[in-house]
Every structure is written in C-alpha cells, then in structure tokens.
Amino acid sequence: MEVHHHAHHSEMKSWKVYFWEFFMLFLAVFCGFLAEYKLEHVIEHQREKKYIHSLVKDVELDIASLQKSYDLRKTQILYFDSLTALLKQGYNERMNDFYFYARHITRSTNFEYHDRTILQLKNSGNLRLIRNDEAADSITIYDNEKIKALLIQQENELEFRKRIALDIVGKIVNAFVWNEMNDSTGQLHKPIKNPSLITNDPLLINQFSFDIVALNAGMTYTNRQVSQVIASAKNLIGLLKSKYHLE
C-alpha cells in the first residue's frame, strides 16, 4: 500500500498586498478623523453664530436702555437749569417749582448693561469661538472701553448726587414735603402750597447752587458719553450682522 504525503504550502502575501491593506486601513482612519474634525468645526461655527445672535440682542437692549437714560438725563438737565435760574433770580414765590426740580436730584438715570452673553463668552473661555478678528476686536472695545468708561462716569455722577442729597439738601428742604411729592407709583408731583425751606442760610444756599451747576455739567458730560456709546453699539450691531449674515 502506498502512502501519499501531501505537502501543505502556505501562500505568502506579497509586499504590495500588505501595503494596500495598510493604506486602506490608514485611509479609513484618516477619513474618520476628517469627518470628526469637520463635524466639530460645524458645531463650533453653529455655537459661534448662536453667541453672535445672542450678543446682537443684548446690544439692542443696551441701546434701548442707553436711550432711556439719555432722555431722562436730558429732562433733568432742563430741570436743573431752571433750578439754577430760580436760585439766581429768586425763588420765594415759586417754591413749588423749586421743590419739584430739586427732587430729581435723587432720581436715577443710569442705564442697565446687558452683558449676559459677553460674560458667558469670557467665563467659559469661548471668546476663541469668535474667529472673525474684526468682530472680536469690536466686541472687546465695546465691552472693555466704551461701556466700562460710561459705567465709571455713571457711578461718579451717582455718588455726587448722593453727596448733594445727604450734605446739602437735607439741611435746607422740608423732609415731609420732600417725601409727600413721591406717590405710591413712584411718580413725582409738585407741592401745591408753596412750601418754604427750613433755612435760608446764604452759605448753604450758595453751596447748593454751586453743586447744582457742577451736577448739571457732569450730567451733560455723561450724556455725551451715552451718545458715543449708542453710536458704538449701533456700529457693532451693523458689523456683526454683516460679518455673520444676520437679518
């Protein structure tokens, strides 16, 4: 009986086969990386545009608040002009007007800064998402320079108002008349009985006159700043809408 031995020959792959297998694997991994990178890029672009859209809304709210502050301050400047005229020409027969004009010393005209989106961008480190250099620079200038300077000026004006109220006004006006001018809704009304001051001390009246003139000058300066910030805010909105194709 013959026994036949069958030899087992292992087929060797050529280097070309190994190369193409490696290349196909590399290509699959690389394409996956590109797809992931593209997806991440798209997501970041969507987040960037979402932040810009939110920022535009905030700046629009800023403009409305700035305009309201400007209008209130402009009215008060006129009141203090009239008060200065009374102090110069004589006020005894027009104490109703005197009290009404003076009462606005303690009425706030400050604007509210809507910095919700900017704070989110800064606190989360997402300012890097703003890839347009011109937009990023304009946002930084608006926040760090324009708004910051105005907020400092507003605070100085408010502190000066408080000082006048505490150091001078409380020493010359009737506190009960002062309080009764403010109704339950916060509206101011002129007194109707021509109330007198509690003192006509010339030194106090002169200091009061000086402070009203100084306050009026400060408020006029503040309103110039407000006008500049309104212009900057409108320019910022225009730039962001143009760069990000927003309606």
Q: Write down the number of H helices and E strands in the chain.
A: 8, 0
Residue 19 predicted with pLDDT over 50: yes
Give the pLDDT of residue 17: 65
- Candidates 126, 124, 119; CA nearest to 45 is 126
Residue 160 predicted with pLDDT over 90: yes
How many residues comprise the chain?
Answer: 247
- Distance between CA atoms of residues 59 and 67, nearest Å: 12
Give this prediction's pTM.
Answer: 0.81
Give the pLDDT of residue 16: 66
If you average pLDDT over residues 153-182, what whole number do you get? 94
CB atoms inside a 10 Å sphere around CB 183: 9
- Candidates 151, 141, 120, 139; CA nearest to 59 is 139
- Distance between CA atoms of residues 156 and 218, nearest Å: 9
If you average pLDDT over residues 73-81, what whole number do you get? 97
pLDDT tens-digit map of 193-235 = 899 999 999 999 999 999 999 999 999 999 999 999 999 999 9
Residue 35 predicted with pLDDT over 90: no
Tell me which residue has tokens 């810009």: 52
| 147 token code pair | 């708004």
* Average pLDDT across the chain, whole number: 86
Query: For a pLDDT cut of 90, what percent of the chain falls above it?
Result: 64
DSSP code per residue over 3-31: -PPPPP-PPPPPHHHHHHHHHHHHHHHHH
Quick check: helix, strand or coil at residue 188?
A: strand
Hey, which of 20-24, 125-129, 188-192 has the most confident mean pLDDT?
A: 188-192
Asked if 111 and 154 touch (Cβ cutoff 8 Å), the reply is yes
- Distance between CA atoms of residues 62 and 4, nearest Å: 97
